[in-house]
Amino acid sequence: MSFTAPLVISFLFLVIIFAFKSMSKKSLVWSIKYKSHQIEIKNKYDFTVNPPTGSGNLLVDNNSISSWGLLLPLPNKPFVCVSDISEEIQSIEIYGAGAFRTKLSIKVNDEFIYQDNLNIIDRYLIRNPKLIEKIKRSSGL
């Protein structure tokens, strides 16, 4: 008798529980120094309520530059594009990805200055944008 199938099913069940627990409610902050400027991205979301809530804010030198509501970003399109911020910062683009936790890439003046590490599941989602669209539709985002 094979014990592999029940073991795999148990493992997948634990992974799903961990994923929902880790995604349920978060408040995340990224702080990056660029030349003489401090760039800060704040993101918070709560999936424990119905409908889910969330928001984000881009700050440069403690000045709010852009804000957004709850979203599921596509990794090949920036979800924030801002231009003409200062003499040193002509543009900022923020890309997002992540299966269980938000992962960012930040592009300033057409140069990536920050990138979170992606795990194997994050990379799988990036290669399958149709799956991301299905997730967006099913979650109402």
| CA neighbor of 105 nearest in space, from 84, 68, 82, 79 | 79
Torsion of the alpha carbons at 9, 15, 17 and 18, rounded to the nearest 10: 160
Rounded to an integer, what is the distance from CA 91 to the centroid of its chain?
20
Based on the structure, what is the number of domains in the chain? 1
15 pLDDT above the threshold of 70: no
Q: What is the pLDDT of residue 54?
A: 85
- Residue 104 maps to a domain: yes
2 pLDDT above the threshold of 90: no
Of 2-16, 73-87, 117-131, highest mean pLDDT = 73-87
pLDDT-derived band at 118 (thresholds 50, 70, 90) equals: confident
What's the predicted TM-score (pTM) here? 0.73
- Residue 72 maps to a domain: yes
| CA neighbor of 106 nearest in space, from 44, 43, 63 | 43
Which structural domain, as residue segments, surrounds residue 107?
24-139
- Residue 71 maps to a domain: yes
CA distance 91 to 23: 30
CA distance 76 to 72: 12
- Residue 9 maps to a domain: no
Q: And the tokens for 80?
A: 């924030």
- Residue 11 maps to a domain: no
- Residue 86 maps to a domain: yes
- Residue 8 maps to a domain: no
Over residues 100-117, the pLDDT tens digits come to 778 899 999 999 999 988
- Side chain identity at 116, as an amino acid letter? D
- Residue 19 maps to a domain: no
